[in-house]
Structure 1
Amino acid sequence: MNIIFLTITRITGISERGIYTDLMREFRNEGHQVYIACPTERKYKQNTNLTKVDGVHILSIKTLNIQKTSLIEKGIGTLLLESQFLESIKKYYDNVKFDLVIYSTPPITFTKVIRYIKYKYRATTYLLLKDIFPQNAVDLGMIKENGIIHRYFKNKEKRLYSVSDYIGCMSPANVDYITSHNKTEVGKKAEVNPNSIEPFLKTISNVERIAIRTQYNIPLNDTVFAYGGNLGKPQGIDFLIDILIHNNNKPGTFFLIVGDGTEYLRLKLSIDKLKSKNILLLKNLPKANYDQLLLSCDVGLIFLDKRFTIPNFPSRLLSYLECHLPVIAATDSSTDIGDTIVKNNFGTWCLNGDLSGFNKLIAEYCENIAWRQEMGNNGNNFMMKNYLVQQSYQTIMKHML
């Protein structure tokens, strides 16, 4: 089959690890012809171009900056995406008869592109729902509920669900939410198709662990709590700052934070004021380096703003499970990630903002090494049974038989 994947994630090849590249690699390995359409933002100074890398066709479409940029440019860039993608696909892929269109949120503005391919080639359309917009922006106070902007994007959201033949959701709570809030557009289209990866199944020796910690000046015997990923409004960074302040220079406890986002500078300034010896903030690392560093840590952290009414399910969970790390999730009460973690005994949960509860969990993880190692192993086993890319592939392909 000919498969086209639409995404706003910049992809230069599918040898790199990630939830989308792993899935496209699986389609390629199963003998399908894979075509990708993705942006190359203006900061990369490249014109629209088509290449073939790792056995897949990659159409890099010149756009404005749409990530890690000003809200004005991001807004304009996002609105222009649909026409830019449609024009480029017609020009570079017009001789390809597509059987399946896969696309993810964000954005919700690809409806015309999807409809064009769907009806021209009678292609099946499959949405990987990774973001419920615009409600997430309403929850965080970024746009006014029932205002002009909200109504505009809500209409876009409904059209996207309508044009989708199937909708793969990250968790059961995701399925329930979009089905109950969009009954006409979703109906029985939604199914659980969680974030998934092709795991690297690697461990490190104690000698390697010591070498890695020494490289980054991390104390050898401290319990290291690691956070990796976006540092933005959705994570409720205020709570992370409170945690760091309360645990500043606490003996035996170390916090590693790797990431970037709109809240990075505010977080950095707060950490600088602490003059802490038990906090390390790194502004991104190559994926391979991050994986190695994570293998030397003890506990993974997940944060979500407590105001969310939508059930987010962060993909950073997978990196922790890969590395046999137990997880502390401090989130809103709408997501079911905490229930999943606790029910399957690979971590603990508290409400984002519950500083006393979170600090009690920190103490428990520091004091009980055997307990946290057991939960880390439980998490890895859970991942191997539920979050493999082969399962996501099969979930999509059952609709093509």
Structure 2
Amino acid sequence: MKLVYLVQYFSPEKASGLQLVEDLLEGFSAHGWKTDVFTPSPTRGVTDEQRKEYARKRVEVKYDGKLTIHRMHLYREGKGFVGRAIRYVLFSIECFWKAATVPADFIFTGSGPPTQGVVVGLAKKVSGKKVIYNLQDIFPDSLVTSGICGENSFLMKIGHAMENFTYRNADHIITITDDMKANIMKKGVPEDKISVVRNWIDTDKVKHISREDNLLFDELKLPRDGFYVVYAGNLGKVQGVDVILKTASLMKNYKDIKFVIFGNGSEEDSLKKIVRDKHLDNVLMFPLQPIERVSEVYSMADISIISCTPGTGGSGMPSKTWTIMAAGIPIIASFDMPSEMERTIEEAGCGFCTRAGDENELTEKIIRVFGDSRLKNCLGQNARRYAEKNVSKAEAVEQYIKSIERLVDKEK
């Protein structure tokens, strides 16, 4: 079997979920499938030197020729809306052309950017290829929940039209939570067209690193005996990272507690401005670290935060949840309730879920863990145990392969 795989970001870029993409591609290759990946030249979190290197290295071949990575030249991604929008349009045009013309049995794509579903649906009509759509977050629901537009706005009407076209033309949809499955079933997607496969983590690669062995403390000039509340990931509108800064403001008197944020994104500058304007000396902000250092990043933490803007939590389940668990770190989520996040944390016994955007509840839970080292250790141990038992990389990749093979068998 041969696949065309379209992806918005790819190694060596720094973006959430890249390890999942690489794990899937490795699994497809091990299963004997040939995959052509089409992705823009790297932009997010890379140096000018790296961009120049990949401008020359347009094609890479891995796994004994089973995987070929094609870099599509695009200008560097900026933070301005117009520049990003034009870049997305150019990316979509290139993806349509590759999906429509490159010989393959299937087109595989994720839900970022939101136009991807439309792009591959159009390519299907032209080429007749089957489409596997990997739904990691639900658009256009996120437009309303993040406050970008209203439910009855013209933008939402366009969004719903795109969504309906995507679901109608996808031959199979693989999503990551039961909540997301229920959401799209309410919109008319038949149940037999949907598989739920949780995102995963490689617990052999991601594990706890002791503070004595964690070089990030030295590189960032942070004392090893501090108490650190860590957030790592995208700094966008739906992540609701401002609740962490509000919490830090409430906790200025806790001199032993530092909030450490690793991230990049559209809200980065505004968050840094809040830190400066409010003189939040207990907040430290650093760029997102390379994926291979994720164990060091989360192992720095006494507590790790997962947050969302109120109303957006039903649109996805952050894959960082499993990464934090694999590192053996307690989680405090500022998230919508009820939600799969709340149920997962409760099932794992690895932390607490507080109401999205509520800095008072978040403060209360941080103080509780700060004051009880036995509780902190217990939550961390539970997190690691849950990751080992429930979110295995091998099992999840196998479920993806079986979902695609079931579609093949149905078509015979």
- The one of 116, 134, 138 aligned to 2:144: 138
Is 1:57 matched with 2:65?
no
- Distance (whole Å) between structure 2 residues aligned to residue 215 and residue 398 of structure 1: 44
**Paired residue for 1:82?**
92
1:179 pairs with one of 182, 185, 188: 185
Q: Deviations over 1:26-81 (max 9, x none)?
A: 2223332121111237895777985123332112223455x543112222333343
What's the offset of the Cα at 1:176?
0.9
Give the counterpart of 1:371 among 375, 379, 387. 375
Matched with 1:39 is 40
User: Where does residue 125 of structure 1 map in the other structure?
Assistant: 131
Aligned with 2:212 (options 185, 189, 207): 207
The C-alpha deviation readout for 1:109-159, integer Å capped at 9, x for no partner, is 234653466567765432211121112012222134333322122111111
The residue aligned with 1:157 is 163
Contact map agreement 2:230 2:305 (CA 8 A) in 1: yes
Aligned to 1:170: 176
2:347 to 334, 338, 343: 343
User: Within 5 A, what are the aligned runs for 1:83-122?
Assistant: 83-89=93-99, 93=102, 96=103, 98-111=104-117, 113-115=119-121, 118=124
How large is the Cα RMSD of the aligned pairs? Answer: 2.8
Hey, what's the Cα distance between the residues in 2 that align with 1:207 and 1:166? 47
Please point out which of 69, 81, 96 is paired with 2:79: 69
The amino acid of 1:170's aligned partner reads: I
Give the secondary structure class of the aligned counterpart of 2:314: coil
Q: In the alignment, is the contact (CA less than 8 A) between 2:307 and 2:333 conserved in 1?
A: yes
Query: Bigger relative contact order, structure 1 or 2, given CA contacts below 8 A and separation 6+?
Result: 2
Residue 253 of structure 1 is matched in structure 2 by 257
Separation (CA, whole Å) in 2 of partners of 1:112 and 1:172? 24
1:26 aligns with 27
Secondary structure at the counterpart of residue 27 of structure 1: helix
Gap change, CA 1:387 and 1:119, over 3 Å in 2: farther
Q: Alignment partner of 2:328: what SS?
A: coil
* Maintained 8 Å contact 2:141/2:315: no
Identity of aligned residues (%): 20
2:308 is the counterpart of 1:304: yes
The answer to whether the 8 A contact 1:162-1:186 is kept is no
* Amino acid paired to 1:287: I
**CA deviation after TM superposition for structure 1 residue 348, in Å:** 0.4
Structure 1 equivalent of residue 389 of structure 2 = 385
Could you tell me the TM-score, scaled by structure 2's length? 0.85
1:268-347 paired onto structure 2 within 5 Å: 268-308=272-312, 310-333=314-337, 335-347=339-351
Greater CA deviation, 293-302 or 16-25? 16-25
Question: Which amino acid in the other structure matches residue 269 of structure 1?
Answer: K
Q: Which residue of 2 aligns with 1:267?
A: 271
Q: Does the 8 A contact of 1:115 with 1:163 survive in 2? A: yes
User: Aligned partners of 1:278, 1:148: CA distance in 2, in Å?
Assistant: 42
> Distance between the aligned counterparts of 2:168 and 2:56, measured in 1?
30
1:23/1:389 contact within 8 Å kept: no
Pairwise CA distance, 1:243? 0.7
The superposition leaves residues 269-317 of structure 1 with CA deviations (integer Å, 9 ceiling, x where unpaired) of 2223454553321022222334323223221101101133733211221
> Any conservation in 2 of the 1:306–1:333 contact (CA below 8 Å)?
no
- Tell me the distance in 1 between the aligned counterparts of 2:166 and 2:99: 18
Letter in 1 for 2:292: A
- Deviations 1:206-243 (CA, angstroms, capped at 9, x unpaired): 5314x543442333333211100011211223322211
In structure 1, what is the Cα distance between the partners aligned to 2:69 and 2:142? 30
After superposing the two structures, state which structure 1 stretch, 170-179 or 246-255, moved more. Answer: 246-255
Instruction: State the Cα deviation string for residues 242-291 of structure 1 (Å, max 9, x = none).
Output: 11111125133121110011221122122234545533210222223343
Q: Helix, strand or coil for the counterpart of 1:301?
A: strand
In the alignment, is the contact (CA less than 8 A) between 2:247 and 2:360 conserved in 1?
Answer: no
Deviates more, 1:317-326 or 1:1-10: 1-10
Query: 2:325 & 2:179 partners in 1: Cα distance?
Result: 21
Task: Indicate how the Cα distance of structure 1 residues 339 and 345 shifts in structure 2: closer, same or farther if over 3 A, else same.
Answer: same
Distance 1:230 1:12, change over 3 A: closer
SS at match of 1:234: coil
**Aligned residue number for residue 410 of structure 2:** none
- The count of residues paired between Structure 1 and Structure 2 equals 391
**Structure 1, unaligned runs of 5 or more:** none
1:12, CA displacement in angstroms? 5.6
For residues 28 and 338 of structure 1, do their structure 2 counterparts lie closer, same or farther at Cα, with a shift above 3 Å needed? same
Contact 2:146 2:238 in 1 (8 A): yes
